[in-house]
Chains A and B, each alone.
Chain A
Amino acid sequence: QKEVEQDPGPLSVPEGAIVSLNCTYSNSAFQYFMWYRQYSRKGPELLMYTYSSGNKEDGRFTAQVDKSSKYISLFIRDSQPSDSATYLCAMSKSYSSASKIIFGSGTRLSIRP
């Protein structure tokens, strides 16, 4: 069983819709949670990271962590065609340099104009 599960999609929504992307994980030791965005033929870029449970908002993006359910989400409001990309969740056990990041396999998102 993978430590991090992510629905690969593809997910297609109309422009302006609210998008919800999700990951589940099995290891309760994870404390740092990240979302990366990867455009086609590019490397991933960090969108947001959060520590432990709770919400974090940055513009149109909101990251949510529910450690009790081992479930994290990324919400995109007022989605734009430029949001079309693959979104990778990632998590690590600690902030120390010894901790490794575990990535999900990514969800392909397409925003229809």
Chain B
Amino acid sequence: EADIYQTPRYLVIGTGKKITLECSQTMGHDKMYWYQQDPGMELHLIHYSYGVNSTEKGDLSSESTVSRIRTEHFPLTLESARPSHTSQYLCASSEPGTGEETQYFGPGTRLLVL
């Protein structure tokens, strides 16, 4: 079983609040990813990182930001939450040297912005 953790699992917050979704993995993976998943819709890559101090935006435009100061930690921040940010956010990491295929996902954070 993959050792990748996300907190909080559920979050209900008011518009305009700043929030940080935490993601950490203990597998020593260099590559980490954030996806957004709405019900019945495909996963959309919003951010990825190939190592410490490396972050890139994904295919889906997002108002969130990420940082990668430590290998095991890849937090996602929303400076000012809006109802349009309501979604499920999934963090993933992949094994070094194996490309994108064997991604391990965390349990997700369900965010509701009122």
Partner-B contacts on A (CB < 8 A): 2, 4, 8, 32, 34, 41-46, 49, 88, 92, 94-97, 99-106
Closest to B43 in A: A103
Q: Which residues of A contact B110 (CB under 8 A)?
A: 41
Q: Which residue on A lies nearest to B92, using beta carbons?
A: A43
Q: Are A44 and B105 in contact (CB under 8 A)?
A: yes
What 3 A-B pairs have minimum CB-CB distances, sorted nearest first?
A43-B105, A103-B43, A95-B99
Most buried by A among B43, B103, B104: B43
Q: Is B63 an interface residue (CB 8 A)?
A: no
Add 19 more A-B contacts to A42-B107, A97-B99, A106-B40 (CB < 8 A): A2-B42, A32-B99, A32-B100, A41-B107, A43-B90, A43-B91, A43-B92, A43-B105, A43-B108, A49-B102, A88-B42, A97-B31, A97-B100, A99-B99, A99-B100, A100-B45, A101-B101, A101-B103, A104-B42
Contact of B42 among A94, A96, A106 (CB under 8 A): A106
Contacts of B99 in A (CB 8 A): 32, 92, 94-97, 99
Tell me the complex Cα distance, A105–B106, Å: 18
B102, chain A: closest CB distance, angstroms: 6
CA distance A100 to B94 in the complex (A): 12
Contact partner of B90 (CB less than 8 A), chosen from A34, A44, A96, A99, is A44
Return 17 A-B CB contacts under 8 Å, by A number.
A32-B100, A41-B107, A42-B107, A42-B108, A43-B92, A43-B107, A92-B101, A94-B99, A95-B101, A97-B100, A100-B58, A101-B101, A103-B42, A104-B42, A105-B40, A105-B42, A106-B42
A59–B11 CA distance with the chains assembled, in angstroms: 38
- Bound CA–CA A104/B59 (angstroms): 15
* B106: nearest chain-A partner, CB-CB: A43
Instruction: Give the contacting residue for B101; candidates A34, A102, A105; CB below 8 A.
Output: A34
Query: In the complex, what's the smallest C-beta–C-beta distance from A2 to chain B, in angstroms?
Result: 8
Q: How far is A46 from B31 in the complex, measured between Cα atoms in Å?
A: 16
User: Is B12 part of the binding interface, using a Cβ–Cβ cutoff of 8 Å?
Assistant: no
Q: Given A4-B42, A8-B40, A105-B41, decide whether A100 and B100 contact each other with a Cβ distance below 8 A.
A: yes
